[in-house]
Amino acid sequence: MNQLSIYNPATAALISQVPADDAGSVAAKTAQARAAQPGWLAVPLAQRKECIVRFRAAVVAQLESLAAIMTSETGKPIKMSRNELNGLLGRIDFFLKEVDAQLVTETVFAEGGMTEQIQHIPLGVVVNISAWNYPWFVGGNVYIPALLTGNAVLYKPSEYATLTGLAMARLLHEAGVPKDVFIAVVGGGEVGAALMAQKIDGLFFTGSYSTGARIAQTLGPRMVKLQLELGGKDPTYVCEDANPKTAAESLADGAMYNTGQSCCSVERIYVHEKIHDAFVAAFLETVRGFKVGDPTNEDTYIGAVTRAPQLAVLEAQVADAKAKGATLLCGGTRLPGPGNWFAPTVFSNVNHSMELMREESFGPIIGIQKVSGDAEAVKLMNDTRYGLTAGVFTPDEARARGLLAQVNAGSVYWNCCDRVSPRLPWSGHGDSGVGLTLSTYGIQTFTRPKAWHLRSAG
């Protein structure tokens, strides 16, 4: 059997080797899920919810060990691993609270012996190809509502978060979800391709645009339900009436949290010329206060870069920005020692000729551009092929609403950033993807409507 080797990105040490799937085992697992799904749907919703309640309790009980596993294979600072697991609990609570109402059969017309109803039935067998940067968040956004609504799930964790994915499967099975209803599928891109070759009813992917585009090309002709949560180049505009220190502290965190490895990390900052210098000074002060180091230490803020190939991407963006006239204010290099380390990096005097301001960085690097006013800021914020999130800092709510209404983004922020809520849909424009998760819409997305036309025989 194939083996998948798992390395610690902070030390480059081999953590584990686990059995990996191949085309044959993927086909067998898909058949198991297909056979098991009707039985899972026949389980009353109340009992399906009880399984998820027990799963939640297990996450709480084992939170420290689960956080340690995630930190070991992703390089995420241990406090941030705990934050992710604690944040997952609120998402589970939301899905448990809202799922009943989303599955109620709706009577939309009843007159003269004719009744019309809408029933919400599960998709069937869904594939979740998940991400490594927030594996509990990204996975839970899919498999929790998918299971609650009666689907079977083939869950492929990222090869960079495999141990975490296997822990999810173990806890779900111990909580009462049948082993053939939630099945972990282990491996890299070739295993994802094998999953796409199966007869499935939906595929939910989180990752890069390039991979998402290949998935869409493969599955588009087959009319499979498809949700693609892809990249972002998320901009924020700091107006001249904003407090530069407060905005800088918030945006430094938004750019560097989780070592900048978030789809909604702040990746472009535009600052009004009247407060530009004060903002940059405060931003640098904040970033220089972030501790870089061992992700298992409680006071570490910047951990390792999870994927070694991303270091070359960051180096290329640094070289391109410098060659085109940007000013490097701090960082800009790999850090010595074993593992994948990159210094927190800040540029000023950037522009849109630079890759740094156009292509997703996914690392601890940011460009700050001076703008003359609102019109220029909005034009630059929309000068992108992505459209995931965008933000504005100003004390004037009406101004912020007016500006954000002009920006193409699935989520917009006033005086905040890098924030996701279970109550709001998570979606994007352009190359940031199609479909959505979270909110009540993110429960409905795992169902399809069935229209009933019922005429009485009287």
Determine contact, residues 363/313, Cβ cutoff 8 Å: yes
The continuous run of DSSP H or E covering 274 comes out as none
Task: Evaluate whether 96 touches 44 at the Cβ level (below 8 Å).
Answer: no
For the record, the structure tokens of 33 come out as 């899920």
Q: Are 61 and 120 in contact (CB under 8 A)?
A: no
User: According to the 3-state scheme, what is the secondary structure of 16-32?
Assistant: EEEECCCHHHHHHHHHH
CA–CA gap between residue 341 and residue 202 (Å, rounded):
37
Beta bridge partners of 205: 129, 228
Q: Is 263 a catalytic residue?
A: yes
Amino acid at 296: T
Token digits of residue 105: 């059969």
- Torsion angle in degrees (nearest 10) through CA of 1, 191, 137, 83: 40
Q: Using CB atoms within 10 A of its CB, is residue 399 exposed (0-12), middle (13-18) or buried (19+)? A: middle
Between CA 75 and CA 338 the distance in angstroms is 13
Q: Report yes or no: 111 and 202 within 8 Å, Cβ to Cβ.
A: no
Instruction: Kindly name the residue from 239, 263, 264, 417 that is annotated as catalytic.
Output: 263
Residue in this structure with the two tokens 């499967």, named with its chain if needed? 169
167 three-state secondary structure? helix
Annotated catalytic residue, options 84, 98, 159, 229? 229
Q: How far apart are CA 325 and CA 284, in angstroms?
A: 19
Size of the chain in residues: 458
Quote the tokens at residue 354. Answer: 């630079």
Q: Would you please indicate which residues are annotated as catalytic (active-site) residues? A: 229, 263
